[in-house]
Amino acid sequence: MNPTVGKALLQLKNSERLEMWEAAKSLVKAADRGVVPELLELLASSVEAERRAAAAWTLGFLRATEAVQPLIQVLSNKSEPAALREHAAEALGYLSDARARRALTSSLFDENADVVFSSAFALRTVGEPGDVPMLTKLAQTSSLVNSAGEGVSQEALEAIEQIRARAIRDKDDDA
């Protein structure tokens, strides 16, 4: 393992909050998939929710498809902290794996705005035309705003737009 990557992984596992997130960014920049097993272990076993969230985020950006099922389990487990579930949903969006679709659509009506927002965001990549009615309902009825001040209804509209555009592209490719 590259010494820089090893140092970043160690920081992700042991550092304080700011250094931990900087380490996650360094791991993404290094794009060394050799860290995936250790990130999966961190996601599964750390007692610190934010450290697990950083691992989830990093796995998503590294496009670690082996993380799909563990991330689905985190997202689907309502006893997990909302911030961790939010990062799991976001990571699933970056992974663009259809296996996540059911968990993401189920999370569209979560009680936490960040989880709902990230689930709608992720559906941009894995959503199907059959998800549009749920997203439309969310867009029309939700007044939720995530912790960054972004509206859930706007994110749902953007997901609908991308799902429809992808369906048109797929149809044109089949023709």
pLDDT tens digits, 43-101: 999 999 999 999 999 999 999 999 999 999 999 999 999 999 999 999 999 999 999 99
Can you say how many angstroms the Cα of residue 95 is from the centroid of all Cα atoms in its chain? Answer: 8
The closest alpha carbon to 86, from 133, 41, 54, belongs to 54
Report the CATH number that the domain containing residue 139 is assigned in CATH: 1.25.10.10
Query: Which residue range is the domain that position 10 belongs to?
Result: 3-174
Q: Considering its fold, how many domains does the chain have in total? A: 1
SS percent in the chain: helix, strand, coil, step 5: 80, 0, 20
In angstroms, the CA 32 to CA 35 distance is 6
pLDDT at 31 (0 to 100): 93
Task: Output the pLDDT for position 170.
Answer: 84
Q: Is the pLDDT of residue 175 over 80?
A: no
pLDDT at position 171 is 81
Residue 173: pLDDT band with limits 50, 70, 90: confident
149: confidence class by pLDDT, cuts 50, 70, 90:
very high
| pLDDT at position 4 | 87
Within 10 angstroms of residue 169's Cβ, the number of other Cβ atoms is: 10
For the stretch 92-127, what's the b/e string if a residue is b when 16 or more beta carbons lie within 10 angstroms of its beta carbon? bbbbebeebbebbbebbebebbbbbbbbbbbbbbbb
